[in-house]
Every structure is written in C-alpha cells, then in structure tokens.
Amino acid sequence: MNALLPVPLLIVGGGAAGLFAGCRAGECGLGALILERKHKPGRKLLMCGNGRCNLTKDIPPAQMLRDMGEPMTAFLAPALDLLPPSAVQNWFEQHNVPLKKMDDRRVFPRSEQASDVVHALMDALRDTGTALCLNAPVERVERVEGGFHVAAAHFSVMAQRVLIATGGVSYPKTGSVGDGQKFAKALGHSLKPYRPGLIGFMLSHPWVDAHGGSTFEQTTFRVFRNGQKIYEGQGQMDCETWGVGGAAAYNASRCVARLNLNDFEIEWTVGRDTVRVANPETRPLKEAIVTIGGVPLSEIDPATMESRKCPGLYFAGEVMDVDGPTGGYNLTAAFATAALAVASVARSQGRDGVAGEPARPAARDLRARPTVQKSGPHKPYGYKFQRK
Ligand SMILES: Cc1cc2nc3c(=O)[nH]c(=O)nc-3n(C[C@H](O)[C@H](O)[C@H](O)COP(=O)(O)OP(=O)(O)OC[C@H]3O[C@@H](n4cnc5c(N)ncnc54)[C@H](O)[C@@H]3O)c2cc1C
C-alpha cells in the first residue's frame, strides 16, 4: 500500500479568496482541499453590494492600484498583473455569470444576485474535483517536517502548502473572526492593529437631523487635517439616525483610518449646503465593509503571496493588511491575491497551471481555460443570507 501523501495545498477559509483559490488550483490540476468554518461557503460574498455583488471595476489595473493607494499600490501590482479586472470579468462570464457594467464602471452579475457568484465558484470546484469541507473550523496550523499539520475541531490534515484565506474581522457572523491572523502570529508574523476600513461616521448635527432617512446620490465628501484638505471624493451619502453613511462617507472613513487620524474634520457638500464636523467617531469595526490591519504586507512576498517568515505558507484576501475603496476593489484584491498564491504554489511544485507565471502575465493570459466541461446555467443557490 502507498504511504499516505499530504494534501498539496490546504486552503483555510471558503470565502471570496479561498473559493477562488480552490477553483484556480483545480484548473491547474493542483490537488487542493478547502476547510471552511461555516456550514455554507461564501457568506460574506452573499452580502456583497447589498446582495448584488459588485465583483470588480472595469478599469485598467494601473488605475485600480492608484485608487487603492499605498501600501496596496506596490504590493498588489504583481497580483493585478496576473489577474486584472478584465480577467475577473472573463472568468465569471466563462463560468456562466453574465455581467453588466454600470456607468461608473462597477461590474455586477446581470442577475444582480450575489448567489450566482457563489454558485459559479461552487460549480467550478465541482467541475475540477476540488474538495470543500464545510463545518470545519481550523484551530491550529503548525509547521512540521515536510509541510504543515492543520488541526480542525475533529480531525487533522497534513499539507505541503497552506494558504490562509480567512478574511478580516468584520461581520464575524459570516465566519471571519481573525483566526488566520492568529495562525500567522503563531507562525512568526507580527500583526497590524485592526481598524474599520469602510464605515459610516457617527455624529449629531441639525442638518443630518433635518434630512434623516434621505439618500443623496451625488455628494462631495472631504477630509481635513490641520485645516488642509487631504481627501476629496464623490458618491452617495445616506443620512442615518446615527450619522452619515453611504459610499462617499465610507471612502472618507478609509482615508481617516489609513492615515490613523485622531484630529481631523469631515465635510460634505450637497447642492448648496456644505456641512463640516470635527472628529466624528466611526461605527464599530464589526460593521465595517473591510478590515484595515492584519498580516503586514512587508512580511509577505508580493510576487508570490508567500510568507517571508514561514516558507510554504501563503496568504490571500483580507487576512492581509489590504483594503480598497468601495466599488469592487476588495473582491478584486481577494481574487487576484488568491490567483497569484495558487500560481506560485503550482510553480513551486513544477506545474504549469493556467494561473500562469506572474513574471509573464501577458504571455500566459489568465482568462481561464477550464480543462473540464462547464456546467449549464446556474440553478438558484437555495440559500439566503440572513443578518442576525
Ligand atoms: C456588507 C458587505 C458588503 C460588501 N460588498 C462588497 C462589494 O460589493 N464588492 C467588493 O469588492 N467587496 C465588498 N465587500 C468586501 C468583501 O466582501 C471582502 O473584502 C471579501 O469578502 C474578502 O474575502 P476573503 O476571502 O478574504 O474573506 P471572507 O469573504 O470573509 O472569507 C473568509 C472565510 O474564511 C472562513 N474562516 C475564517 N476562519 C476560519 C477557520 N478558522 N477555519 C475555517 N474557515 C475559516 C470564514 O468562515 C469565511 O468563509 C463587502 C463586505 C461587506 C461586509
């Protein structure tokens, strides 16, 4: 009898990054196993874009990188080189998710159903014979000779390589509770403190009271430090009972969090009204669209997504200190880092997978060529996310 072999690639987390990584691994014939904490995969994906799922933004990668700002610009360049927004769109269209583009270039499934996105990923896992194990919260990842020992609640697995794709720490009911960051720490990484990335500002102001419940489609939102404007952006703003939310406020909050501002002012202009408020607090981290902080980018090789602290360990998605504005940037980052990690693992195992060589992305066009027959149109995914 043959000796038992370790799993070539064990993926911890079945969210956007982990599911996409599993699909890419399957497409290049790399045996992968995904362990997912929850009884259903992709719970946060199902919430994306209010259930419509803003998959990406149809802009050149250079513009996407610029919009995200440092430290993401330099770090994500190889990943977006390998899987630019156009390739994200091609992958989903080739996997039976027709897309539509909005005037501002945001891309959604034509059905406006996030469940179609999860369903496409599940179909691709099935079609490539990639294993997904649900109800399997990983509790420990240990370095052992020849690879890793990964312990779930009721079983453990030996793996040659491990990809941590456990997400950030917001909306913990979706399963992302910060486990991956703890595994990384136990394997030698430091951690950057968490901050809410895209979130509303809590404030009390007569203008907001007077417009309670209103949504303004075109608002200009600004952030000032020492009286100097350091951020300006346009977008939707919602007046809530607790303050202001919506994409315009969220993107401004990301600037405040990234720059770690304590003393600042926000200002918005709607029609002829301009309102300025000093030092508003943000809503709590658990409500953030994205988590800033986590595994520092300086500790990960941007060309491979491999840990600089623990060889054989890879990262993808929000578990890293990666975040972008609203508009499909965060899912694109999750998919692209997943694709790059899998391509790197495949290369390290001497495989010439469809995920290709990061150094020669144009020659190895990622616009996926599945090696298996594709399934027909998706049936309803049969699962509706309920916020508890
Ligand atoms: C309300 C909301 C709306 C959003 N809308 C958009 C949008 O429209 N467009 C966009 O680009 N971005 C959007 N985002 C952001 C986007 O959803 C995330 O950036 C993206 O899901 C991150 O992917 P991920 O795979 O890194 O993490 P997640 O999608 O959070 O997946 C992590 C997975 O790991 C699993 N896991 C965690 N710990 C363990 C463990 N110990 N063992 C096993 N499994 C584990 C979790 O259960 C989860 O399934 C939105 C976020 C929110 C909260």
pLDDT in tens, 84-101: 999 999 999 999 999 999
The rounded mean pLDDT for the chain is 91
Atom of ligand 1 nearest to the CA of 338: 25
Which mutation among 24, 48, 322 tests ligand 1's pocket best, with the greatest number of atoms within 8 A of CB? 48
pLDDT above 70: residue 239 = yes
Distance CA 365, CA 344 (A): 15
User: Could you tell me the residue ranges of all domains in the chain?
Assistant: 7-195+291-348, 200-282
pLDDT above 50: residue 62 = yes
CA proximity to 17, closest of 348, 375, 341: 341
H or E segment at 127?
A: helix 114-127
Rounded percentage of the chain residues whose pLDDT exceeds 70: 90
- The backbone region for 68, taken as left when phi is positive above 0, alpha when psi lies in -120 to 50, beta otherwise, is alpha
pLDDT above 60: residue 182 = yes
Q: 375 versus 145: which is more confidently predicted?
A: 145
Q: How distant is the alpha carbon of residue 59 from its chain centre?
A: 18
Residue 169 near residue 258, CB atoms below 8 Å? no
44 alpha carbon to ligand 1 midpoint, in Å? 5
Distance CA 287, CA 171 (A): 6
pLDDT for the residue numbered 377: 52
Just give the CATH number of 7-195+291-348.
3.50.50.60
pLDDT tens digit string along 162-171? 999 999 999 9
Query: How many other β-carbons are positioned within 10 Å of the β-carbon of residue 364?
Result: 16
Atom of ligand 1 nearest to the CA of 137: 42
Q: Is 47 in the pocket of ligand 1 (CB under 6 A)?
A: yes
Q: How confident is the model at residue 77 (pLDDT cuts 50, 70, 90)?
A: very high
pLDDT for the residue numbered 371: 38
CA proximity to 342, closest of 368, 381, 322: 368
pLDDT for the residue numbered 126: 97
Q: What are phi and psi of 66, to 5 degrees?
A: -60, -45
pLDDT above 80: residue 226 = yes
Cis peptide before 109 (omega within 30 of 0): no
Q: Is 313 in the pocket of ligand 1 (CB under 6 A)?
A: no
pLDDT above 60: residue 357 = no
Q: Choose the weakest-confidence range: 139-153, 175-189, 235-249, 345-359.
A: 345-359
Distance CA 131, CA 135 (A): 13
pLDDT above 50: residue 60 = yes
Q: Is 48 in the pocket of ligand 1 (CB under 6 A)?
A: yes
Specify the DSSP class assigned to residue 137: -
Q: Is 317 in the pocket of ligand 1 (CB under 6 A)?
A: yes
Question: What are the residues whose beta carbons fall under 8 Å from the beta carbon of 23, sequence distance 6 or more?
Answer: 121, 124, 125, 128, 130
74 alpha carbon to ligand 1 midpoint, in Å? 23
pLDDT for the residue numbered 375: 47
- Judged on CB neighbours under 10 Å (0-12, 13-18, 19+), 296 is middle
Collapsing DSSP states into helix, strand and coil, what is residue 91? helix
pLDDT for the residue numbered 5: 87
5 alpha carbon to ligand 1 midpoint, in Å? 31
pLDDT tens digit string along 281-340? 999 999 999 999 999 999 999 999 999 999 999 999 999 999 999 999 999 999 999 999
Atom of ligand 1 nearest to the CA of 175: 47
Q: How confident is the model at residue 349 (pLDDT cuts 50, 70, 90)?
A: confident
Distance CA 116, CA 96 (A): 9
Collapsing DSSP states into helix, strand and coil, what is residue 173? helix
Atom of ligand 1 nearest to the CA of 53: 8
Q: Is 328 in the pocket of ligand 1 (CB under 6 A)?
A: yes
pLDDT above 60: residue 370 = no
Q: What is the chain's alpha carbon radius of gyration, rounded to the nearest angstrom?
A: 21
Q: Is 327 in the pocket of ligand 1 (CB under 6 A)?
A: no
Output the six-digit token pair for 178: 């910060």
Q: Is 36 in the pocket of ligand 1 (CB under 6 A)?
A: yes
Q: How confident is the model at residue 388 (pLDDT cuts 50, 70, 90)?
A: very low
Specify the DSSP class assigned to residue 280: P
pLDDT above 90: residue 359 = no
Which pTM value belongs to this model?
Answer: 0.92
pLDDT above 60: residue 107 = yes
Distance CA 316, CA 342 (A): 9
173-189 in b/e form (b: 16+ CB < 10 A) is ebbbbbbbbbbbeebeb
